[in-house]
Amino acid sequence: MAAKKPATRRPARLRGDALRAHALEIQRRLAATYPDAHCELTHRNPFELAVATVLSAQCTDARVNMVTPELFRRWPTPQALAQASLEAIEAVIKSTGFYRNKAKSILGLAQQVVATHGGEIPTEMDALVRLPGIGRKTANVVLGNAFGRNEGIVVDTHVARLSARFGLTRETDPVKIEQALIPLFPRESWTQLSHLMIWHGRRTCAALRPRCGDCVLVDCCPSAAL
């Protein structure tokens, strides 16, 4: 029998305190289900995380983790990567897709970090988003996971999809989704919240075949296919 899709009916829309209570209950259950949720991009420092996150666009973390050991073996620092040839970088990262643009981005990122930031990945959102290839989502990944700073909430495809399914927002633009999520969750939990939602999206609430029957949220999710 084909797997049931999530219900398409619109749930009664929660607002204010009821919406915050709903959001916190979801967060509580996900935290209990995935106590080890963490960033799945392998990295040893902010530079490696920034580069790996650029490479993760339209690509799985597992695939990125296959190319970064060689990438960082050959160019272990921003200074080293800034001296690399575009063609050499392209050859190493080719399997991550969109490799020409990604190679340009990480080469430009390394060069700008060396030229403008003394070879150190900046710790401020404003400076991060001025680096090649780094938008707000990537900046949030770096700030939250490399520097322990909860400046915002990472909204990737999983967080966007689950935010809608959970009934947390009807926004579809990632920046607007982030702004809708921010008042619902304690600031100190923003980075971990993204991990929880990403892990749930990967393991249970997939885009095409969510496993509602195995889901810890089935009785409180307005999109559950019962």
Among 75, 165, 173, 175, binds ligand SF4 (CB under 6 A): 165
Residues 191-210 that bind ligand SF4 (CB under 6 A): 204-205, 210
Distance in angstroms (rounded) separating the CA atoms of residues 178 and 159: 9
Distance in angstroms (rounded) separating the CA atoms of residues 53 and 211: 28
Residues 5-64 that bind ligand SF4 (CB under 6 A): 6
CB nearer to ligand SF4: pick between 69 and 213: 213
Residue 169 contacts ligand SF4 per CB under 6 A: no
Phi, psi of 144 (to 5 degrees): -75, -40
Cβ–Cβ contacts within 10 Å for residue 35, how many?
Answer: 8
CB nearer to ligand SF4: pick between 151 and 156: 156
Structure tokens at 53: 């996150």
Residue 133 contacts ligand SF4 per CB under 6 A: no
Active-site annotation holds for 137: yes
Residue whose entry in the numeric block shows the structure tokens 């403008």: 116
Radius of gyration of the chain (CA): 19
| Active-site pick, 4, 137, 173, 219 | 137
Provide the binding-site residues for ligand SF4, judged by CB under 6 A: 6, 165, 204-205, 210-212, 215, 217-218, 221, 223-224
